Chains A and B, each alone.
Chain A
């Protein structure tokens, strides 16, 4: 469980300002949803936490410490697509995260391997893929692939789990199943989750906190001169009906 802080973060690509003056404290154990129109910097926001991108100004801190500007095992991620390795079986996909602990060979043998297989099988069991352990991802449905991606991302117990529109490509029924899967896992493992999504119901239904990114100011002559800011920051933990953006939390949260 880890806290994230954004201190006066700006992201600029040349003249284009993507994010401006983001100040945000994300408490440990938060399930944060990030919503906003396309091009409002949601993915950039996620890449900042991932370490794939550096802020032009300001700092992103994990538990008060700056972290290296490259992806690492303290932050797990599930992408919308291409999250699993097509050349490994379901078991191999989870096992490989333990195998990366061997720097040179990235393979485990003997007792260490058996132990890692047991841990992997427990993860696979937890996401309900136990019957498909020896299948390759190409033989799995989209929903099953995303379950596998979640199992894989959770195997190393990341301090922060990032979800980049993880259920965007799934049909509504499967999506609901995935919601029922992720919520108990989040409670059980006590992670901080940051989820970028286009699905407003999903954003309200799962999260304990929601932020919306948008560009509040527009210059018709130079669209790129104003970046996106946090336009709404909602606490969804309080019980009862909280009227926000014309939605009622109870009616939106039941999905």
Chain B
């Protein structure tokens, strides 16, 4: 419990699980190849690299597009739109529900109920109402993510010490001013934390929607090539999606630390 790794050994330790997985995969892949040269389940790394390179640098023979990049652009557009709108909704509603007793009484229970609806169950409704285009995918992400953000934010606002809100009023602040100068800046770090946690669900909703009805996108591609057992496409795509999610998470964390240093002074000590 009291033995902590140094900086250098920490990096090595954190690399060990990755190296192990890669090693197991390479060994397994080689063994299956030796038994059956046509094996598709565990393609060797070289084959995956070749496929990835083809998808990323050569235009598709039929459509003339660079598949990996068009897929990534389409998926990211949906994800960023969905998450961005959810964040705005979560912030605006969460703040009002938490700060204003009247808004809390009106929307509190409603949001609690809405957030219990399994988003995948309403996906057919979204396809019927919003069509099979971009809108239904973005709306699915919003329905899945926004209610949770609203609840997170309203709980955070309610958890703020009353003393601060009263103090602000004794300094002459109106409700609006308390909202924008006292409450809003203080819930921003928590908002970013919540959005980081919602990255996983957002990707889940995105890929599900793309798997069911889309003509471009990361999830669409995975489910398309599944029919041909093209593990050499699926595995790099999964790795790519994971990397994208990880980078998002990392950038949000970095941004929060830079923009709200006061919220992280405790950790720095």
Contact = CB atoms under 8 A, between A and B. Distances in A.
B163 interface: yes
Contacts of A136: 261-262, 265
A48 interface: no
B172 A73 contact: yes
B177 A75 contact: no
B124 to A, nearest CB: 44
A77 B186 CA distance: 21
B109 interface: no
Given A106-B173, A156-B171, A71 B166 contact: yes
A120 interface: no
B54 interface: no
Interface string A74-87: 01110101111111
A138 interface: yes
Tell me what chain A mostly uses at the interface: helix, strand, loop, or mixed: loop
Interface string A39-67: 00000000000101000000000000000
Given A77-B167, A103-B177, A72 B172 contact: yes
B177 A77 contact: no
Chain A, interface residues (CB within 8 Å), range: 35 or more
Contacts of A86: 186, 262-263
Given A82-B161, A87-B260, A77 B180 contact: no
A12 interface: no
A101 B161 CA distance: 23
B181 A155 contact: no
Interface string B29-68: 0000000000000000000000000000000000000000
Contact of A77 (B170, B173, B262): B170
Interface in B150-173: 161, 163-164, 166-173
Contacts of B163: 79, 81-83
A104 B181 CA distance: 11
Contacts of A139: 265
Contacts of A207: none
A255 B186 CA distance: 39
Nearest to A89: B262
A155 B171 contact: yes
A153 B182 CA distance: 16
A190 B32 CA distance: 89
A77 B171 CA distance: 9
B185 A87 contact: yes
Nearest to B167: A83
B177 A138 contact: no
Given A52-B166, A71-B166, A87 B171 contact: no
27 contacts: A72-B169, A72-B172, A73-B172, A76-B170, A76-B171, A79-B166, A82-B161, A83-B167, A85-B164, A85-B167, A85-B168, A85-B182, A86-B262, A86-B263, A88-B262, A96-B168, A96-B181, A99-B181, A106-B177, A106-B180, A136-B261, A136-B265, A137-B262, A138-B262, A138-B266, A156-B172, A158-B170
Given A153-B167, A156-B171, 14 more contacts: A52-B166, A71-B169, A82-B161, A83-B164, A83-B167, A84-B167, A85-B182, A86-B186, A97-B171, A97-B172, A104-B176, A106-B180, A138-B265, A153-B171
